[in-house]
Amino acid sequence: MTEIESAAQPGQEESARRLLKRAGRVGRIARVFRFALLSIVDSFLWAVALAVASYARFGFDWSEVNVGGLVIVALVAIDVHLVVGGFVGLYTGRRRLASFEETGWVAVASASGAVAALVVAELPAGGNLVPLSAILAAGAYQVIGALAARYLGRTLLEWRFPHRANRRRLLVFGAGEAGYQTVRALQRDSEADTVAVALLDDDPMKAHLRMQRLRVVGGRNDIAAAAERFGADALLIAMPSVSHEVIVDVADRAQAAGLTVQVLPRLSQIVEHGVRVRDIRDITLADFLSRPEVHLDLDQIAAYLHGKRVLVTGAGGSIGSQLCETIRTFGPERVFMLDHSENNLHRLCLRLDGTAAEDSPDVLLADIRDREALREIFDRLRPQVVFHAAAHKHVPFLELHPAEGVKTNVFGTLNVLGVAAEFGVERFVNISTDKAADPVNVLGMTKRIAERVTAHVATQAPGVFLSVRFGNVLGSDGSVIPTFREQLLQGRAMTVTHEDVTRYFMTIPEAVHLVLQAGAIGCDGDVLVLEMGEPVKIVDLARRLAAELKPGIPPRITFTGLRPGEKLHEVLFSANDTTVDKPHEALWRCRVPPLDPIELDGAGSVAEMSGLLERTRSHGVTSTAMRSHMASSVEGNGR
């Protein structure tokens, strides 16, 4: 931390304290103002109601009215009403203004005042201060007046910023409870930058329904017309339990109409605390993935992470950094973060702690290709759980530079596995890819070999060694999403290899959560395959991202053709995989043939691959030659 930052912090804290004090004073003033205003209104209404009722009772002849008695009865009714009202929270902010709950308590307070007035008026010493019929009528007048005043006050409060500049105009799709809570939350939040202008719902029973002064003006077929009619900028899908197909269809229609699409949190969150303005968010590509919410067994995960020393290789990458962040929530003794890139580690430290803590003993700058460096680290730190996320993963780069893929994904993994077994690691999780299933490129082949040698070490070492296989991760470093986003922002055409190419996708948090769950339930030699849902067409992904960033503008897409080593469609299992069972709703368990890197004979042995690597430096061995040398190691002699 710099001296300037250190000097600034006390000033910032003092400013925060002053703001909190000011907010507290404002809150107290608001409560006092509410108490005073409503008390005055209710008292005034009692006085007027009794006077009018008495005046009418005597045929509108004021000379017949017992003014002294009227004053006494009014004071009694007012005092009792205010005492009861204060006790039930009418004047302290416990009841929302003009709500159904407050309406009932207003009636109770008025009835209490009326009963007290009747008792005083009938006392022997009272001498018929005010006619009983006038008191009963005055009680009714007072209730009506009090409720009318509160409704007027609530209306004024909700419309106190009707012409605020730069507020987005929002269509709300869904006129159910979530839609009602959303509209109410927006109307009550004076700082919201969005105003709801109309409702939409496919239910014909809700046609022309009014809710919070907004009317249902149609269904999904009327989105474009409603957007033009009301000058809307955005559409909120306020149906958290609706099917994925409905969300996709409504979002597509809204984006085609030039609207920004927003969504609410999952139903479980809304049930817990209701809809809040800050919960409303823009729809993302992850919302288009056809996959149910994954439920984790947090106790299982905590059991093998809590109080343990955990090491993550490739900690600075997309998956590795999310792993480090999530693992820390389970109370490990320490989390060691290993990466060969100091820039990645610098970003990771900023993300986790907000400081560039490169001097932390938990931050390890090392390359998994360096076995001796790994031995020194494992000997010194003695990790108990290892997540191996370090890898080269880009297909085109590895096709051009196959030796680099072998050195990191095969030999680097062998190094990490070897020292983990040597120093008695309790649990080792190798992170793989769906490209290891029936591999056709250098990346897939190297990761397939890594799965097989992990399965072999599982038969030799005392700990649990397993692999986790999943597909593309939305938004990860080097994935198609950042590429498409950059092309769109630069005004260029998005490049897609083939109009029919598909891939399996999941979000980074989904992938990490399931990796942790797999580490909890996996057994020696397992390859646990994440449930990826249905594969997604890349061209559809490109169009959705374009609709999200530039709604209403047709995207430009150029098809470049499949590159060397690319498949049209990925698979999750190889022909040689043995599917065992499904130990979790989102995880399949399968087995791969173990591969002993020492004893394996033939062109795929470590010695042969090492020799091939040497020849790449001087003779430019191609990825085709490298793949042919790795072929027997990929599936073994059984293929």
What is the set of active-site residues? 435
| Positive or negative: CA dihedral 376, 381, 383, 388 | negative
- Residue 492 is given by DSSP the state P
Q: How far apart are CA 377 and CA 558, in angstroms?
A: 48
Report whether 28 contacts 93 (CB < 8 A): no
Amino acid letter, 457:
V
Question: ∠ CA 406-408-411 to the nearest 5 degrees?
Answer: 70
- Residue 259 is given by DSSP the state P
CA distance between the termini of the chain:
58
Give the three-state DSSP class for 502.
strand
Torsion-angle region of 620 (φ positive above 0: left; ψ -120 to 50: alpha; else: beta): left
Residues whose CB falls within 8 Å of the CB of residue 134, separated by 6 or more in sequence, listed in order: 50, 53, 54, 56, 57
Amino acid letter, 194:
T
- Residue 216 is given by DSSP the state B
Helix/strand/coil (H, E, C) string of 162-183?
CCCCCCEEEEEECCCHHHHHHH
| Positive or negative: CA dihedral 297, 300, 302, 308 | negative
Q: Which of 535, 507, 534, 530 is nearest to 583 (CA)?
A: 530
Q: Which of 339, 342, 283 is nearest to 314 (CA)?
A: 339
